[in-house]
Amino acid sequence: MSKRVLIVGGVAGGANAATRLRRLDEKLEIVVFERGPYVSFANCGLPYHVGGEIQERKKLLQHTPETLKARFAIDVRVQHSVERIDRAAKEVEVRELPTGRVYRERYDSLILSPGAAPFKPTVPGLDLPGVFVLRDIPDMDRIIAWMAEHSCKSAAIAGGGFIGLEMMEQLHHKGIECAVFESNPQILMPLDAEMVRPIEAEMREKGVKINLLDPVQGISKGQGQSLTLTTKSGSNYQADVVIWSIGVRPETKLAVDAGLELGTTGAVKVNDHLQTSDPAIYAVGDCIEVTHGVTKTPAFIPLAGPANRQGRIAADNICGIPSTYKATYGTAIVRVFSLTAACTGANEKLLAKAGIPYQALHLHPNSHASYYPGAHPLALKVIYNPKTGALLGAQAVGKDGADKRIDVLAVAIQAGLTIEDLVDLELCYAPPFGSAKDPVNLAGMIGDNVQHERVSVAQWSDVEKLALTAQLVDVRDPAEVAKGSIPGAIHIPLNDLRSRLAELPKDKELLVFCQSGQRSYNACRILLQHGYACRNLSGAYKTWSTTLL
């Protein structure tokens, strides 16, 4: 009797496991059960077909049951729901959805890849026509059909995460007026607050209404075809279509009913071989709990890249190739109109919760050589452990170059590099693409100076408290200061600093800032060598003023 591997769920984890199994073993019997009508599709591309950037729907379909059968000899059964696992008999109970027929299939190894489902709390009206989630192609088709049939002119997006913002951007491209409702004090929670302010400003500039700390608490039928949303504050908002996108929860019912162990996050617990508490059953993708690569704590991080790798690793282990899944670092990216926001590793909120010491650095370099046309400023934040120098996280926002720098820093974090190691990275340089001192190198240089006590830094969030005891010093040029400064600052341009040192108090610490941090670093070096106590404001006026947006 041939060895049988059954896979519950396709898309990223399940489909990758199936094809990897076949490449490793021609004799295996592989069966994939998919509850929906499509076994392999680009779910990350769904918003972009809604908005028309991906014009052909068929581009989203990566494999069909027929192509998987022809190329990989895999038995794919769409619209088949695995209802129960009989671990003692090593069998699953399957329901063929179009007919209702129930049957059983045996397995030697079982892979669970049911994914995660949109979180839908007990909010009245979520089942009304015109309220949608976006998880798969049928969801996408329903949204497109509804908007066409009802000539939608306004949309409400519940949730300011990655999918919510992608949908907002795409609906805005179609000329639909958008409003975003978020329960947190900021959008894009994987980034820190000061890093998302430019994104929020960009959205408002495009006419998007952002409602922070004001989640949707009820939906009802409005006038005509519209829906009325009631928020926590008691406000009402009218919309022709509602996209519900406040996060996802792991699909664990099948695992729970089978008595498999869940982790502290509520997702399926697996070992580093991706085996569940039953060694014959593996789990991959958005249903599992992982280890966060920085905090080393249990985490639920549903991302397509890790799911793909997990499918491959589970297949390796089933075929006798020892393979381990180490950790997930949460590397992610989103485009919002002209800006890109990207992140990797841990943010300040996560590090504080985990009790890990950290030092944050902000800088605002250009995306490529400033003298070459088309250079844009990039807001870059790098976080590291001041005791060991180990890199802990990074975030970037800008019109160009955010993806490149976060990819480099993601590799650096996973490779165990320190902040000082960034100085020596040899990265591509030509004027259209970068600078001789890449932003990643610059972050390392700043960190090296801090670590070796050539300068001390303060954060934007420290300014209000420090202003009570320290003297703020603005070393920018007069034209810059005319556009705004931090209240209470003495203005002495950097070029005049040496000749005007007597104007600065020696009995107070000086908090020095310029526009982005470089000139104020030079000022601090002058001041320190003349006996002044001073700190450089990390990210300087640019970062501080961003928090006022």
Residues contacting 47, CB < 8 A, separation 6+: 134, 163, 166, 167, 169, 170
> Residue 97 carries which side chain, given as an amino acid letter?
L
Pairing of the two strands 4-8 and 109-112: parallel
Say which DSSP state 507 is in. S
What's the start-to-end Cα distance of the chain, in Å? 67
Per DSSP, the three-state class of 356 is coil
Q: Which two tokens stand for residue 213?
A: 């700390």
CA–CA dist 245, 135 (Å, integer): 10
* Positive/negative CA dihedral, 502, 504, 507, 511: negative
The edge-to-edge listing of strands for the beta sheet with 510-513 is 457-458, 534-537, 510-513, 471-474, 490-491
Q: Which two tokens stand for residue 358?
A: 């950290």
CA–CA dist 185, 190 (Å, integer): 13
Alpha helical stretches, state H, 151-192: 162-173
Would you say how long the chain is, in residues?
Answer: 549
Q: b or e along 42-67 (b: 16 or more beta carbons within 10 Å of the residue's beta carbon)?
A: bbebbbbbbbeebeeeeebebbebee
CA–CA dist 124, 218 (Å, integer): 5
Token pair 């077909």 is found at 49
Q: Which residues pair with 250 in a beta bridge?
A: 116
**Beta-carbon neighbour count of residue 283 at 10 Å?**
31
Q: Which residues pair with 268 in a beta bridge?
A: 262, 288
Beta strands in 35-79 (DSSP E): 40-41, 61-63, 75-78
Catalytically active residues are 44
CA–CA dist 338, 359 (Å, integer): 30
Q: Which residues pair with 290 in a beta bridge?
A: 299
Per DSSP, the three-state class of 317 is helix
CA–CA dist 276, 270 (Å, integer): 4
